[in-house]
Amino acid sequence: MAKEKKLVEAITSMDTDFAQWYTDVVKKAELIDYTSVKGCMAIKPAGYALWENIQRELDRRFKETGVENVYMPMFIPESLLQKEKDHVEGFAPEVAWVTQGGLNPLQERLCVRPTSETLFCDFYANDIQSYRDLPKLYNQWCSVVRWEKETRPFLRSREFLWQEGHTAHATAEEAEERTLQMLNLYADFVEEFLAIPVIRGQKTEKEKFSGAEATYTIEALMHDGKALQSGTSHNFGDGFARAFNVQYTDKDNQLQYVHQTSWGVSTRIIGGLIMVHGDDSGLVLPPKVAPVQAMVIPIQQRKEGVLAQAQRMKEALAEAGLRVKLDDTDKSPGWKFAEQEMRGIPIRVELGPKDIEAGTCVIVRRDNGEKITVPIAEAANRAAELMESIQEDMFARAKAHLDSHITDVKSYPAFKDAIENKPGFLRAMWCGEEACELKIKEDTTATSRCMPFEQEQISDVCVCCGKPARKLVYWGKAY
């Protein structure tokens, strides 16, 4: 019993210290480990399996829209990075540089990619000649390096995994269409596959990506009321094309600049998955993304016939399409239950001598703790049905949490009071001036998260300065 208590007690309650709860979960669920490289994490099998499932599903959705995978170098010559002024200024504080190769100093510094716009532009300048070469719909799966001052597993590390899509189009209209298409693809994926509801919208001029004409975002709300930017899609217009001379000959034999987009999702979405669905017992994983969907746990497994029946149950669940494991270790059932809960496995199937004698088993849902006694012969089909119910119920709970943590405010005193006492998103009108954004951040640490696509006029004046309002904005504290 002492061992079983220790596993659960190792997790700090999220209501006591949410940051420590998060660290406890990623460590105890064995998603990551710290390394001797400061600010970089080792992603362990359980964590990487989550990324593999995310990668597999996103990759499938990308390819359905015509996207192809490529790979670009991880090093960017300094002269190439300097070609787009706004872009390089935006990333300068986070760039890591290589100055020596082997025993010899380099003639030109090489940047370790923080993102790959410049490399793709350099590539496109040679690869695109005619309108017949367009569109280019490319994506790469890779790691990037950004020299963050403060790091946290998945949410912010100096090296992280992601995908970055880069497309080139003949017209501004096509580029804008692709930018929004990928933003909506991300939103659908996060809601349908990860059971995380999001707000879709456009970033303000201050918050947009360096060098972009427009940045669109999906914003999710964590359990503690903080926002997490969960995916972005950028329309570059022809700015990068002009800087890198990416031109094509149109149907009238006239030279034109291409219009480009970029879009990305990273391993930080795993952090979002943890903070939206987790509880004081550990992870709670939606079935679609869970590496293991069902754990079969035999009770009194040394008794004759128990392990054999548990093995048959595992095989039946696998035949029903579930990703399933059998825990036949010599740990106590209580320890196994706690471990299954810690790892967020959507269901466990309990089988003991009395169950087998009665021809039944017990299915326990991780998301709500519900216990269901079912005939052994029907368990596999019932478990498969539960996968859908659990996925839908988890999204519904997260959506209810999001909806109940959105507050409309119309005055600055109300804004400051709400940001301190009502965790979540604040909806407030804004005049469009960056000065107000800066003042709000300085006074409250809240930032503009997005201007939602579905605009409303909840007030006629800016919440900060009282000037005529131009946009409804979601504000909040964020990771």
Same domain for 364 and 267, yes or no, is: no
Nearest to 231 by CA among 205, 258, 209: 209
Give the model confidence (pLDDT) of 370-423 as tens digits. Answer: 999 999 999 999 999 999 999 999 999 999 999 999 999 999 999 999 999 999
Same domain for 244 and 334, yes or no, is: no
Residue 185 lies in a domain: yes
What's the number of CA atoms in the CB half-sphere (13 Å) around residue 42? 9
50 — phi, psi (to 5°)? -65, -45
Q: What is the mean pLDDT of residues 423-438?
A: 98
Position 8 scores a pLDDT of 53
What's the number of CA atoms in the CB half-sphere (13 Å) around residue 160? 26
Residue 392 lies in a domain: no
Q: State which of 247, 277, 307 marks the end of a domain.
A: 277
Residue 401 lies in a domain: no
Question: Which residue matches tokens 């939103």?
Answer: 187
pLDDT-derived band at 1, boundaries 50, 70, 90: very low
Position 83 scores a pLDDT of 86
Same domain for 264 and 368, yes or no, is: no
Nearest to 166 by CA among 206, 199, 102, 209: 209
If one counts every other C-beta atom within 10 angstroms of the C-beta of residue 395, the result is 19
Q: State which of 352, 386, 420 marks the end of a domain.
A: 386
**Are 361 and 349 a contacting pair, CB within 8 Å?**
yes
Nearest to 218 by CA among 268, 277, 261: 268
Same domain for 354 and 250, yes or no, is: no
Give the model confidence (pLDDT) of 43-101 as tens digits. Answer: 999 999 999 999 999 999 999 999 999 999 999 999 998 887 777 787 888 999 999 99
**Which CATH number is 351's domain given?**
3.40.50.800
Give the model confidence (pLDDT) of 449-477 as tens digits. Answer: 999 999 999 999 999 999 999 999 999 99
**Are 464 and 432 a contacting pair, CB within 8 Å?**
no
Position 86 scores a pLDDT of 77
pLDDT-derived band at 9, boundaries 50, 70, 90: low
Give the model confidence (pLDDT) of 189-200 as tens digits. Answer: 999 999 999 999
Position 428 scores a pLDDT of 98
Position 89 scores a pLDDT of 81
Residue 423 lies in a domain: yes
**Which CATH number is 257's domain given?**
3.30.930.10
Same domain for 244 and 349, yes or no, is: no
Cβ partners under 8 Å of residue 299, min gap 6: 306, 333, 350, 351, 352, 353, 355
Paired with 217 in beta bridges are 201, 232
Residue 6 lies in a domain: no
Q: What mean pLDDT, rounded, does the chain reach?
A: 96
Give the pair of three-digit tokens for residue 259.
Answer: 């219009």
Same domain for 262 and 342, yes or no, is: no
Q: State which of 251, 277, 303 marks the end of a domain.
A: 277
Same domain for 304 and 247, yes or no, is: no
Number of independent structural domains in the chain:
3
Position 224 scores a pLDDT of 97
Give the model confidence (pLDDT) of 270-280 as tens digits. Answer: 999 999 999 99
Position 84 scores a pLDDT of 77
Q: Is the pLDDT of residue 7 over 60?
A: no
Q: Is the pLDDT of residue 5 over 70?
A: no
Residues recorded for the chain: 479
Residue 134 lies in a domain: yes
CA angle 386, 4, 383 (to 5 degrees): 10
Residue 395 lies in a domain: no
DSSP letters of 116-156? -HHHHHHHHHHH--BGGG--EEEEEEEEEE---SS-BTTTB
Task: Compute the radius of gyration of the chain from its Cα atoms.
Answer: 25
Same domain for 194 and 47, yes or no, is: yes
Same domain for 368 and 226, yes or no, is: no
pTM score of the predicted model = 0.95
Provide the domain limits for residue 351: 294-386
Q: What is the mean pLDDT of residues 140-164?
A: 96
Secondary structure E strands in 299-357: 324-326, 347-351
For the chain, the maximum distance between any two Cα atoms, rounded to a whole number of angstroms, is: 82
Q: What is the mean pLDDT of residues 223-250?
A: 97
Same domain for 351 and 263, yes or no, is: no
Q: What is the mean pLDDT of residues 423-444?
A: 98
Same domain for 105 and 249, yes or no, is: yes
Measured on CA atoms in the order 206, 211, 214, 220, is the torsion positive or negative?
A: negative
Q: How far apart are CA 348 and CA 365, in angstroms?
A: 7
**Which CATH number is 466's domain given?**
3.30.110.30
Residue 285 lies in a domain: no
Q: How far apart are CA 209 and CA 187, in angstroms?
A: 19
Same domain for 66 and 151, yes or no, is: yes
